[in-house]
Chains A and B, each alone.
Chain A
Amino acid sequence: MSNIDRRTLVKCSLATMMAGAAFPRGAFAQPSEPILLGVSGPLTGPNAQYGTQWKQGFDLALDEILAAGGINGRKLAYNFEDSQSDPRQSVAIAQKFVSDPRIVMELGDFSSPASMAASPIYQRAGLVQFGFTNSHPDFTKGGDFMWSTSVSQADEQPLLASYAVKRLGLKKLAVLHLNTDWGRTSRDYFVNAAKEYGAEIAVTEGYIAEERDFRSTLVRVRDASPDGLILISYYSDGALIARQARQVGLKQVICAASSVYSPKFLELGGDAVEDVHVGTRYFPEDPRPEVQKFIAGFKKKYNGQEPDAFNAYAYDAMNMAAAVVKIGGTDRRAIREAFTKVRDVPSVIFGAATFDAASRRVKGAMNAELVVRKGQFALWDGKPT
């Protein structure tokens, strides 16, 4: 500023020299130390529940990776920094991670504003930002260091539409969606697919995440006289809508997106979610070995608790990270290259996951058509409800 004199200039140049001397230190990590991943996600604040679910999925995957000998003999570990899903904090965390030479790759953040605000920092520093819940269509457009295993809504929603229209035979739909970037994108893909399959969209209603009262919305739905309700919701709001729909006497078939797939949906919804159809990416009786391993391991580690979709995303993401680090080693650029090389990683969500190098996403999510029967998710047997 105004008071830069000669003395400060001398100090500055001294400082620059010190800075130069300080940086190379620590760049060479000891082989005995764990390979460190940075995780930026919410542990406090309104989205805290999702951060805790991530941790469960991560920890299970890490146990299995360690039991299988780690990454070429080294342990894999993560450093979870709480961002509260706030862009102001996620950018600071991004700077922290990129300047920490031990971090080889970053996972997260949860919400789009927090993740995409940090993207430019990761991109410029050349550290992979692996956003495994970031379905925002522009997330991987942030640069070639942005990769995602989040199921693309362009993939998922046509599957749900096919379940609702082709398999359940619904002709006139009411779509209720979270009015967020995810919900909005999903709605658009769903509506297009459903129309293509010959259904009519009677009404679409977007609601904000904090909403708890849906009675008036459901009157609008009733007046549009649909034969099915589509919920593009998370499990807590999905359960609220299902309960209130039954309470106000709507008896239509309800069909929900995979994000409600959680034991919490059954707990919060109670009787009201009976016969709700859910298009998911896996189901408990799925014979695929990766699914059986995941579910058995999860229940064992967490006292019989059933895993949900967010646990599965985190579990898959950690396994994917391990597979990538196995190929790429601990060099950040090599890790980015490894994303293009990694093939057929066993995955709960995708079966065998391989990245599409152009979109930096994984295509071909698995599909399972479930229905809630007697308070449990079960494979739909084709019988009408």
Chain B
Amino acid sequence: MSSWLDYTINGLIVGNVYALVAVGLALIFGVSRLINFAQGSIYLVGAYIGWVAVVQLHTPLPLTIIVVAVAAALVGLIIERFGLRPLQNSVRIAPLLATIGISFVLDQLVMLTFSPNPRALPSQLPDVRFQVGGGTIGPLDLLIAGVGITSALLLFVFLRYSKLGWAIRATAQDRDAAMQMGVDVNRVNQAVFGIAAALGGVSGMLVGMYYNQIDTAMSLQATLKGVVAEVVGGAGNVPGAVVGSLLLGLVESYGVAVFGTSYRNLFAFLLLVVVLVLRPNGLFASARQAPPEPLTGTFIAPSRPVRIPRWALLVAAGVFAILPFFPVSFYVLQTLINAWLLGMLALSLTLVAGTIGQVSLGHAALLAIGAYTSALLSLNFSVPVGLAIIGGGLMSAALGTALISPSFRLRGHYVSIATLAIGEIVSLVILNWESVTRGPIGISGIPPLSLFGYDLISATSIYWFSFSAMVVLALLQGRLLGSHLGRSFRAIRDDDIAARAYGLSLNRYKSLAFIFGGFAAGVSGGIAAHLYSYINHETFNTQQSILALTVVILGGLGNVVGAILGSVALVGLPEVFRIAAEYRILIYGIVLLLLVRFRPQGLLGTI
């Protein structure tokens, strides 16, 4: 019994830590309807500024907090002014992508300045421990709780009773109306980003002190947990974010208690999916609350797609098809193989995200399902590789659609978050279901690609295999988009209420899109498994999902040629920047930001 008290206390303690990030995310979401993927990076910047203050400048704690808050707020203001404000009249999804690019840039800058080695960030509070239950808590626990709850309360009061707070809430409800009423919307956004960034920076520093450890990998984890907590509490709801964080901490702690440590995150993400399905606006949304997404399709703005003449496509396909005959190195071919594999994933995502409007952030899970199915079929049941890959595609289509179906009733950002969670769940199930997936050991000795009994092991033959698989899938998808199905998909994306009124069954069409998309992604994963010969739960990770989404947005949502072009660009760019060694991801992030800034509808435009 006493153990349960300890689990409860531990859950609340770690929930405290999540709350610090979640509050900042909630504030930004509340005003700009934007999930700020750069919040974790600001948290990282705050932690390192804190390190400089504490270790190099020996500032006392109150001064450290002020220094970190001011510096982080400045970073937030810079992000708002130069990263996001130029995008305010463009597609709704552009700022989302911009925050991803900003987080790349910030993380890399910190890594280059401070080296990736973890550092100790000593706590400046007296080291006394209070006995609570079977464990102890320290002054830092209380400080973190204090900062989290106080900031949430202050923000709540500020939003409700101050003039700027009113302006912020007015802007959140209706930007244009607020502007007409004389609210300086830009100033409001500035204030929000400044406050959220200051909070994010201070929380990074406090959490760094809490664990006596800061490193450059902490940013993505912080964002992930913060997003989960925020959405559980109700996106944009500041006090809800605190309660959501505590709940998340508790669920994780009880999960560890009952099933063991390796199941911990599984419970976090299951909680998220359950909350989203049962109460899509979060636990604490009032029934009267307006839907947090606009009713019709302003999330993905229509644009005029670039028309590429048929002959140009044929020539391009021809050139790539005969490329291995030219004196190109295997390195170029291998890079293009990676691009074709990513291209298949992007085709899948551009269909579900672009054409039918379900922006998925967990698409790597479909790769993983396809890869594991194909690998296990060929290893355990001696299925020929060609058939095993198709089996992987079918499994990915079936299982992927089944997993995603509970979130069909969600809209806009909530789809993204639900799919993010489902992606994490698939990865954790692979890690823990050892009897089938061999857990962390992974699957090795996967047979190489083969077709009709001939092994395809040279880079040239793998190139042709993956290229033709991608072309076939692209042609099929082109046909699909031109058919009545494609029109129905776009109708659902552009206005789901009108589409339903017109007699379209939303769930059925969404399922169809995911079945087709799941197949393409599964085939890509299957080919990858046989190409690598070894896969484990880390092979297809969240970064892959984010990369795929970047490709799709870069190419133009729903645009088949754009997806392929985007894949070649985003696989190629980091390779081209290889010469820049440690700086290449930084350059990649900057290029991404520039693309979003000057071509938010994607290179080839939304179809």
Contact = CB atoms under 8 A, between A and B. Distances in A.
Interface of A: 1-4, 8, 11-13, 15-16, 18-19, 22-23, 43-46, 48-49, 51-53, 80-82, 84, 86-89, 91-92, 94-96, 98-99, 111-113, 116-117, 119-121, 124, 136, 138, 141-142, 176, 179-181, 183-185, 205-208, 210-217, 219-220, 222-223, 236, 239-240, 243, 247-249, 264, 267-270
Contact of B264 (A23, A112, A211): A211
Contacts of B581: 43, 80, 82
Given A18-B326, A116-B444, 16 more contacts: A11-B325, A15-B325, A22-B327, A87-B532, A92-B575, A119-B533, A180-B538, A205-B261, A213-B10, A213-B13, A215-B253, A217-B256, A243-B211, A247-B136, A247-B138, A264-B118
Contacts of B136: 247-249
Contacts of A116: 444, 532-534
B120 A92 contact: no
B322 A4 contact: yes
List the 10 closest pairs (A to B, CB-CB), nearest first: A117-B532, A116-B534, A48-B116, A95-B334, A96-B331, A12-B325, A248-B135, A19-B327, A215-B10, A216-B256
A99 B17 CA distance: 49
Nearest to B467: A1
A interface secondary structure, majority: helix
Interface residues of B, number: 87
Contact of B134 (A98, A111, A222): A222
Contacts, number: 240
B212 A268 contact: yes
Instruction: Name which of A1, A99, A213 has the most chain B CB atoms within 10 A of its CB.
Output: A213
B532 A44 contact: no
A239 B213 CA distance: 9
B534 A138 contact: yes
A277 to B, nearest CB: 21
Contacts of A52: 115-117
Contacts of A96: 329, 331, 334
Interface string B29-68: 0000000000000000000000000000000000000000
Contacts of A181: 440-442, 536
B431 interface: yes
Nearest to B218: A212
Given A219-B7, A264-B117, A113 B138 contact: no
B382 interface: no
Contacts of B212: 239, 243, 268-270
A223 B7 CA distance: 12
Interface stretch (B298-306, B313-321, B403-411): B313-321
Interface string B437-465: 00111101100100000000111000000
B350 interface: no
Contacts of A142: 444, 533
Given A3-B318, A91-B531, A179 B440 contact: yes
Contacts of B11: 216
Contacts of A124: 457-458
